Amino acid sequence: MDPSPPVVPAPDATIEPAGFIVDADGVRIHFLDWGGPAKSDGPGVLALHGIGHTAWAWTPIARRLAGERGTRRFVAMDLRGHGLSDAPTEDGAYELPLHGEDAVAVAEGSGLLGGERQAVVVAGHGFGAIAAAEAAIDLGDRCAGLVLVDGGWESLEEATGLDVDEFLRGLEEPPEVMSSMTAFLRDRREFDPSTWDGDQEGAARASVVETHAGRVVPSARPHATEATVRAMFEYEPSAVLPVVDAPVTALIASDDETRARARALAAESAAREASGRSAIRVIRFGHDGHNLMRYRPTEVTAAILSADRPSTGGG
C-alpha cells in the first residue's frame, strides 16, 4: 500500500496550452505545452495518446497538473500520423522504436529535460502506453516513472483473441456516426454523458476532420492508423517492461470475463521482479471503460504524481 497518497489539485479551467513542433529525425512532431509552476516539486510529465486520438485527450489531466494550483510541468504530444504531426509514408515509418524516439525528441525539445530537469515521467494511454514504454527504454535513468494507462503490458492478439485485420475492421465507425460533426459528437457524448464537457468535445473534435460535404473523417491518416496497429500487434511486453529501470504503474480498466488482460499484467509484474526490478504497481478500475483520462481523471492524475515511487508489491 502506497504511503501518503498525493493530493490532486482541482482542475484549472482557465489554462490553455501552446502548440509547438519538434523535428524528430526529419519528422515534425506536434506537442501541446500546458506549462506548469515556476518551481515544481517533482519531474515533468510527457503524455502520449492512443490510436485515433490526439494530445487533447489528456486535457483533464493537464488541467489538474499544470494549472494555477498544479505542481508539474505537463506536455502532451501527437503521435506520428495523428493530429498535427507528420504522417510519413515510407515503409517502416511506424515501427515501435521510432515512436519512442519521437517521445524522447519531444521531452528534450520541449525543455522537459535539460538544465535542472534531469528526469521525466512518461505516461501513455492504449497504444501510447506501448510508445511510452519504448521511450522509457531510450531515456534510461532520465525516466523517473512509466505510467501505463490501460495498455502496454499485453500481447494484443492473445488478450483480444483477434488478429490484426480483425482488430482494424473493429476500428471502423458506422457510416451514420461519421455522417456529420453533430452525429459524431452525439455518439461520443453517449459513451458517458456525465463526463461530457467542453474539454471532451474539444478532444473529440480534434480526432476528426470535417469535409466540405459535412461528413467527418478521422484526423489520423488511414495509412498511419493501419501501420501503427500492425506495429502494436508486434509488441512484445516481455522484451520491454522487465528492462525498464524506472518504477512502472499500470491502470487497468474493466477486463473481460476471462481476465486475460489482468493475467498478462500479473505475468509482466512477475517478470520485472525476476529481473531484479520493482513490481508493477497496479491500480484497477473494474467498472470503467478504456478512456480513463475521461472517466477517472483524478485517479489518473494521482497515479502520475506518485509514478516515481517503486511498488511495495504487485497487484
Report the distance separating Cα 264 and Cα 153, nearest Å. Answer: 7
> Has residue 275 been placed in a domain?
yes
- Mean pLDDT for 79-98 is 97
pLDDT at 259: 87
pLDDT at 58: 98
Q: Quickly state the pLDDT bin for 231 (edges 50, 70, 90).
A: very high
Pairing of strands 143-149, 27-33: unpaired
Least confident of 77-86, 102-111, 304-313: 304-313
Q: Quickly state the pLDDT bin for 255 (edges 50, 70, 90).
A: confident
> Has residue 34 been placed in a domain?
yes
More confident residue, 211 or 38: 211
> Has residue 197 been placed in a domain?
no
- The yes-or-no verdict on residue 264 having pLDDT over 80 is yes
Burial of 239 (0-12, 13-18, 19+ CB in 10 A): exposed
More confident residue, 3 or 153: 153
State the amino acid at position 145 in one-letter form. G
- The yes-or-no verdict on residue 194 having pLDDT over 70 is yes
pLDDT at 2: 55
Q: pLDDT over 70 for what percent of the chain? A: 97
Q: How many domains does the chain have?
A: 1
- The yes-or-no verdict on residue 308 having pLDDT over 80 is yes
- Residues 6 or more apart whose CB falls under 8 angstroms from that of 26 comprise none
Q: pLDDT over 90 for what percent of the chain? A: 86
pLDDT by residue (tens digit) across 121-137? Answer: 999 999 999 999 999 99
> Has residue 191 been placed in a domain?
no
Report the distance separating Cα 153 and Cα 118, nearest Å. Answer: 26
- The yes-or-no verdict on residue 29 having pLDDT over 90 is yes
> Has residue 235 been placed in a domain?
yes
- The yes-or-no verdict on residue 22 having pLDDT over 60 is yes
CATH number at residue 284: 3.40.50.1820
Query: What integer best gives the mean pLDDT of the chain?
Result: 94
pLDDT at 4: 76
> Has residue 68 been placed in a domain?
yes
Report the distance separating Cα 20 and Cα 132, nearest Å. Answer: 20
Sign for the CA dihedral angle at 283, 284, 290, 296 comes to: negative
pLDDT at 301: 97
- The yes-or-no verdict on residue 312 having pLDDT over 90 is no
Angle between helices 181-189 and 198-206 (to 10 degrees): 130
- The yes-or-no verdict on residue 54 having pLDDT over 90 is yes
- The yes-or-no verdict on residue 315 having pLDDT over 50 is no
pLDDT at 314: 44
pLDDT by residue (tens digit) across 4-13? Answer: 789 999 999 9
Strand partners, 147: 123, 249
> Has residue 297 been placed in a domain?
yes
> Has residue 216 been placed in a domain?
no
Sign for the CA dihedral angle at 36, 42, 46, 47 comes to: negative
**Domain span including residue 115:** 18-164+221-305
- The yes-or-no verdict on residue 257 having pLDDT over 80 is no
- The yes-or-no verdict on residue 115 having pLDDT over 80 is no
- Mean pLDDT for 155-160 is 88
